[in-house]
Amino acid sequence: MTGIWQEMQSMLTQWSLSPDVKQKRYSSSRWRTKQVAVEEAISKIPHGSTLFTSNGHAYPQQLMEGLVKPDAGLVDIRIVQVINAMPVSYLKEFHNRFRVNTFFVDPFTRKYVNTGYGDYTPLTASDLSRLICEEKLRIDIAFIKVTPPDKNGMCSLGVAVDFAKDVVNHARLVIAEVSEAMPWTYGDSLISANQIDHWVVSEKPLLEFKCPFGNEIDDVMQQIGQHIAAEIEDGSTLRMGPHFIDHVVANFLADKKRLKLHAELFSMVAQRLMEVGAMDRAVVAHCLGDRELYDFVDRNPRVRVYPMSHIVNIENIRKHRRMVTIASAREIDLTGQACTDSKGHEFTGGFSGTWEFVQGSHLSEEGKSFIALPSLRNKGKESNIVASLSPGAGVTVNRANIHYVATEYGVAELYGRPIRERCLGLIEITHPRFRDTLLRQAKALHYVNPQQPGSSFRSRYPAEWETQWTLKSGKSVFVRPVKAIDEDSVRAFFHSLSDRSIYMRYFRPMRSLPQQLLQGSVDIDYSQNMTLVVLDTSQKRQEIIAMGQWVLDSQDGIPELAFQVSDAWQGQGLGKYLLQRLIQIAQVYQFEEMKAEVLADNLAMLAVLEESGYPTRYHNEFEIVTLHLAISSQEA
């Protein structure tokens, strides 16, 4: 392995150098002449310069402290930055001398940006890289933090390659803090010592990020994490970071195998998954953590650090099979527009690489993306799923690109669905207290049919009845309670049936399902009625191949059974399975009896009911047989 990595290192060294830099030979004596004191380094900066400072925990503390000292006397300095990892007093105290333009509104810059003492530029990560490389964003001075040069005169940008490498290649003057504490990282993290004009010795340790979440996770976040983790398969490539939702999801991934990370950040979340053997390798732009994490990534070939332009390149993202993007949002409207970077008119974050990763995940084979958020905010007074976004809220993920939305109440798949189904799916995972209100608003906005019952939103979706089942042929199918969004799928199932099958089920010829009957069969109150659908999951588009239901008769209080199997799937035991499953659910609801009305010549259905194993009594009238099953009997 040593020889391979030496060869790779040599290749990366060549890739890292521009043609004019490669012509210069590294000289240790020349390198030493570039060493200056902080004050001298600052004196090299002209008034009116635009200065880029390294990102996150590679923040060059000494250089920045020297920059803002009153005796430095600099004025009209424009500071370009992405994420700060420590307080920045110059934003307000020295706003007459410095103006900050940030591309991410972090906790240290939030109050200044939102009171007019700093600028926020909303840009995707790929667009920021492009602006730097095309020099449309002028950068006069670059402040970076690097390792000491090796014998070949190469320095590693360590934990923060992200935008720094591109900036070094385009800045007019590069000043570095050289830190013995900076990890040496593999990937594309190297720059030549010849590219550094001046450097100072870093006398401070790297900034550290301690996990703020602790070991306690409330029930809401735990449920969201479980919902998302259940959708992640072995061999998936993840986009996740240090955020709360990533921390929670990771708690449920320890048993996964062959996971990979392709993301902007490597954090303690990914470190933990690597240490337990769930994750094999990571390709990132920045490493964020404590000293333990820095020691973990130091010369670790499993963690490779690249420029952000490589990480957020959609073509690079889409190459991963099962690319899974996890992102959080502040609120989402009923059409699928998600806001992540603002709270109304107040800016609270940034675009980062969310847009690119959502796009790349869609293009990836078996890829998917999740927008996660709790259903409530403001101490439970407001819903995070709303009819319309708050005034001033920006759209980070638009309605055309959103895929899955997860709350503690489940996961709604929105991608490729019409507005009507999006509304119904999102209302289903909204807090119950706000479901009726959202349905009324959706009707007022003409997003859904004005006759939509909304029965399913008044009771809890019984996820415990979801299961896989194996047919006689050995094929696996997925069985779950029906949902309000299944309307079109049930209609397609109806039209897949033969005329005879339709007649046997409805006792008359029918060319279509009336809208009221269709809505009533999918939008049900789970506390009183139950409908199960059987899905063929072997195809990308899951189709209903069978349905079974019982509906409570309001006159006698007895649930009435009915089920139907697509002609092509008959003979696989689905009828018997649906009957037993529906009886099992009815027993949990503490019903003692069930009934079914069957045409006398529907011999197959009669045989299934008669072989149920429960005492049965019959009543035959006008060629319709009514069967009563005593499901509480111990004889079964």
pLDDT tens digits for range 164-216: 999 999 999 999 999 999 999 999 999 999 999 999 999 888 888 776 555 55
DSSP 517-539: HHHHHHS--TTT-EEEEEEETTS
Residue 4 has pLDDT above 50, yes or no: no
| Catalytic residue positions, numbered | 264
Give me the pLDDT at residue 503, please: 84
For 255, which DSSP code?
A: T
User: CB atoms < 10 A from the CB of 12, how many?
Assistant: 16
Higher pLDDT, 91 or 451: 451
> Considering only CA atoms, which of 517, 524, 516, 497 is closest in space to residue 585?
524
Residue 51 has pLDDT above 90, yes or no: yes
Which of 134-138, 345-349, 362-366 has the lowest average pLDDT?
345-349
Higher pLDDT, 404 or 554: 404
Range 45-71 average pLDDT: 90
pLDDT tens digits for range 453-466: 999 998 889 999 99
Beta partners for residue 407, in sequence order? 410
List the structure tokens of 433: 């207290």
Residue 628 has pLDDT above 50, yes or no: yes
List the structure tokens of 27: 């000289």
Residue 624 has pLDDT above 50, yes or no: yes
Higher pLDDT, 73 or 569: 569
Q: State the pLDDT confidence band at 10, using cuts at 50, 70 and 90.
A: very low
With contact defined as beta carbons under 8 Å apart, do 289 and 208 qualify? yes
Q: State the pLDDT confidence band at 401, using cuts at 50, 70 and 90.
A: very high
Q: Where are the domains of the chain?
A: 2-201, 219-381+389-432, 463-629
Q: What is the pTM of this model?
A: 0.87
Give me the pLDDT at residue 399, please: 93
Residue 359 has pLDDT above 70, yes or no: yes
Range 338-358 average pLDDT: 88
Strand positions, DSSP E, 461-582: 467-470, 476-481, 530-536, 543-552, 559-565
Residue 91 has pLDDT above 70, yes or no: no
Which of 3.40.1080.20, 2.170.150.70, 1.20.20.10, 1.20.1050.10 would CATH assign to domain 219-381+389-432? 3.40.1080.20
Beta partners for residue 144, in sequence order? 176
pLDDT tens digits for range 368-381: 999 999 999 999 99
CATH superfamily of 463-629: Gcn5-related N-acetyltransferase (GNAT) (3.40.630.30)
Range 357-365 average pLDDT: 95
What's the mean pLDDT when you consider all of the chain? 89
Range 402-413 average pLDDT: 96
Range 608-622 average pLDDT: 87
Residue 16 has pLDDT above 60, yes or no: no
Residue 2 has pLDDT above 50, yes or no: no
Q: State the pLDDT confidence band at 90, using cuts at 50, 70 and 90.
A: low
List the structure tokens of 310: 């490589």
Domains 2-201 and 463-629 fall in the same CATH topology = no
Range 487-510 average pLDDT: 89
pLDDT tens digits for range 229-268: 999 999 999 999 777 888 889 989 999 999 999 999 999 9
Give me the pLDDT at residue 5, please: 37
User: Between the CA of residue 281 and those of 166, 182, 284, 305, 345, what are the distances in Å?
Assistant: 24, 21, 10, 11, 39
DSSP 346-411: EE----TTHHHHHHHHHHSTT-EEEEE--SEETTTTEESEESSPPTT---SB-TTT--EEEETTEE
pLDDT above 90 covers a percentage of the chain that reads: 67
Q: State the pLDDT confidence band at 70, using cuts at 50, 70 and 90.
A: confident
Residue 499 CB-density burial (10 A; 0-12 exposed, 13-18 middle, 19+ buried)? exposed
Beta partners for residue 343, in sequence order? 346
Q: State the pLDDT confidence band at 8, using cuts at 50, 70 and 90.
A: very low
Give me the pLDDT at residue 194, please: 95
CATH topology of domain 2-201: Glutaconate Coenzyme A-transferase (3.40.1080)
Residue 3 has pLDDT above 80, yes or no: no
Which of 127-131, 505-509, 581-585 has the lowest average pLDDT?
505-509
Most confident of 104-118, 196-210, 345-359, 399-413: 399-413
* Residue 272 CB contacts under 8 Å (≥ 6 apart), including other chains: 250
pLDDT tens digits for range 217-231: 688 999 999 999 999
User: CB atoms < 10 A from the CB of 461, how many?
Assistant: 18
Look-up: residue for tokens 């001046």?
Answer: 198
Amino acid at residue number 500:
R
Give me the pLDDT at residue 1, please: 39
User: What gap in Å lies between CA 20 and CA 24, rounded to an integer?
Assistant: 7
Q: State the pLDDT confidence band at 636, using cuts at 50, 70 and 90.
A: very low
Range 135-141 average pLDDT: 94
Residue 13 has pLDDT above 80, yes or no: no
